[in-house]
Structures are given as structure tokens and as C-alpha cells.
Structure 1
Amino acid sequence: MKFLKWILIVFAVLGILFFFVVSPYMRTQTKKHSPEQTVTYDKNGLDLSVNYSSPSKKDRIIFGELVPYDVVWRTGANEPTTFSTKTDIKIEGKNLPAGTYSLWTRPSRQSWSVIFNKNIPTWGVSILSGGKETTRIIEEDLIEVEIPTEQTSETIENFTIDFDMQHELYMLMSWDRTLVKVPISK
């Protein structure tokens, strides 16, 4: 009985150390390689922001290898990417109420599924899966849209999200030689 008590104490101490020491250290280290970025759009009655971590290509094959095709991706690195809007908007014609959402994608060769989810987990992938499974709660998906991909003329070294206003507003996601333009309207 005394032995079991000591084992429980040891596991409790290890859990506390992991939560307060190892986990914050790991987050700090991973952000050195995939720095946090925030992009905003505040015009035409819209107030939007996206917070994400921006990994680098580093001579790797990105889509189809590092980011597998037809598998949900946390859309960046580290914590899940978040998308915030202060007003109700439409994404590809589908209603997205004002709020903050986690943003997930499912890249394929010709298009990406772009998913806005009501739940924002603390980390984008599960540690127990070795980073192969996301922490997305499927039942919390609010909208999902299919967006065709475009090829870029030059290689983009860092995963980038930005806003671009041409004849309509787009949220752009680009990396390697791939560009996705998500239409946003009121």
C-alpha cells in the first residue's frame, strides 16, 4: 500500500513538472522555428484578424508529404490557427457569425476544404499521436467550404496568411507553390 502511494506521488510530481516546466519550454522552442503571426483587415465595415504560426519550407516537399493530402491540417504550426470577426460575414456564401474560430484545412491536389470550428483547443495536434492527429472536435465544425488551389510563380518559403481586396475580399493562404483564395463578404 505504501509503494502504491509513492508511485502515485511520483506520477503526480511528473505530471506537474510536465505541465508547468516541460510544456511551456516546448512551446517556446517550437515558436522559434514557426513564429507567431497576426494579420488584420479593418476596412469596409469589417474587422477581421487571423493568428497563426508560420513554419518554413526548408527544402522540404510540403503538400503531399509534410502536410499529407486529404487529411485535416491545423493550418500552420503549434496552436491551431484562429480566425476572428467582429461582424457577421459570409465565407464562400455561407454565414459565419461574429466570433473567434479555429481554422482547419484539408489540402488536396486541386482544392482545399477550409473549416471554421467553434472550439479552440490549446494545441493543434495530439502529442500521443506523434503529431499525426489534430485536436479538432468535428462536431464543433460550423462551416466547411471547398476552395480551388492556384499555383504561384515563385516558391513561398514561409506559410503565410493575408487579406487581399481586389473586386472582393479574400483571405489568402500560401506556402511552397500553392495559393488558396477564400472569398469573404458581408
Structure 2
Amino acid sequence: MPFDHLWVTGAHKATRISFSKDVNINGKIIKKGEYAFFTIPGKKRWILIFNTKVEQHLTDDYNQSEDVVRIEAIPEILPVPVQRLTYKVKETSKSDGIVSMEWDSLKISFSVTGIGAKI
């Protein structure tokens, strides 16, 4: 994926992420619901985007005005490359976790804190 270009962070359709309760992601409140997840990869930082329009083909239908929130993430170098795009959720407490995406030699992640309930 070229740097500084919007990426669907998956294949064919926008990647979906859903929350059963309101959550706090890196200090930003996101209401419960389903969102399209996009990224803008950069050499030193990535922009992670949560967008309200879930049904999207690649980035064809993307409209920045439908973003709920954008956050920054610093990519980490993996010790061993990952051949397939992989998402992971690691529970850190009953209401908190870390969501990560690994691909090739990079990993990006963001923290999720449930607001008043288990994630």
C-alpha cells in the first residue's frame, strides 16, 4: 500500500468494526454501533479512521465528512513478517483491550476502554 493514501485496510469492502457499548479509543468517545475502518499509512505514523458509512466498496464511496473520529498510531516493526492481514483483540481487563492489525513487517494498534460495561 502506498504511503499517505487512504486504504480500506482489508479486501474489496470496507473493514467493519462494531462496539456493543460506547467506548473510548485513545481518548476519543465512540458511540456503540458499527463503523467502517480505514487507515492512511505513513512512514512514521498512521491515521486510523472510523467512518459511519459501513457499506463501502474499497475507498470508492469514502467521504471524510462521514468520519466519526481519526486517531494517530505509530507503527511497530514486527520481529517476523506476517503474510496475511491479521486483526487481533487482546483483552487487558474486563472492560479494556487493545486492537491490532498486523501485515508484512508492521503492526498498528489502538486501545479501547469500555464505558460502564464489558467490551
TM-score relative to the length of structure 1? 0.58
Mapped pair 1:157 → 2:83:
yes
Aligned residues: 112
Match of 1:131 in 2: none
Letter in 1 for 2:98: Y
Q: Quote the Cα distance in structure 2 between the aligned partners of 1:110 and 1:122.
A: 27
Check whether the contact 2:8–2:39 (CA below 8 A) recurs between aligned residues: yes
Match of 2:32 in 1: 98
Mapped pair 1:120 → 2:58:
no
Unaligned runs of 5+ in 1: 1-66, 127-134
Q: Quote the Cα distance in structure 2 between the aligned partners of 1:150 and 1:81.
A: 21
What's the CA shift for 1:169? 1.2
Q: Percent identity?
A: 25
Match of 1:169 in 2: 97
Which whole-Å deviations, capped at 9, do the CAs of 1:69-106 have from their partners, x for residues lacking one? 01110011111001101100011110000000000000
* Moved beyond 3 Å, runs of 4+: none
Mapped pair 1:72 → 2:6:
yes
Q: Secondary structure at the match of 1:173?
A: strand
Higher CA-based Rg: 1
- Aligned-pair RMSD on alpha carbons? 1.3
Which whole-Å deviations, capped at 9, do the CAs of 1:147-179 have from their partners, x for residues lacking one? 111000001000011101347511010000000
- Judging by fraction of residues, say which structure has more helix: 1
Q: Using CA pairs below 8 Å that are at least 6 residues apart, which structure has the higher relative contact order?
A: 2
Partner residue of 1:184 out of 88, 105, 112: 112
- Judging by fraction of residues, say which structure has more strand: 2
Q: Secondary structure at the match of 1:143?
A: strand
What's the CA shift for 1:122? 3.7
Check whether the contact 2:35–2:54 (CA below 8 A) recurs between aligned residues: yes
Mapped pair 1:87 → 2:13:
no
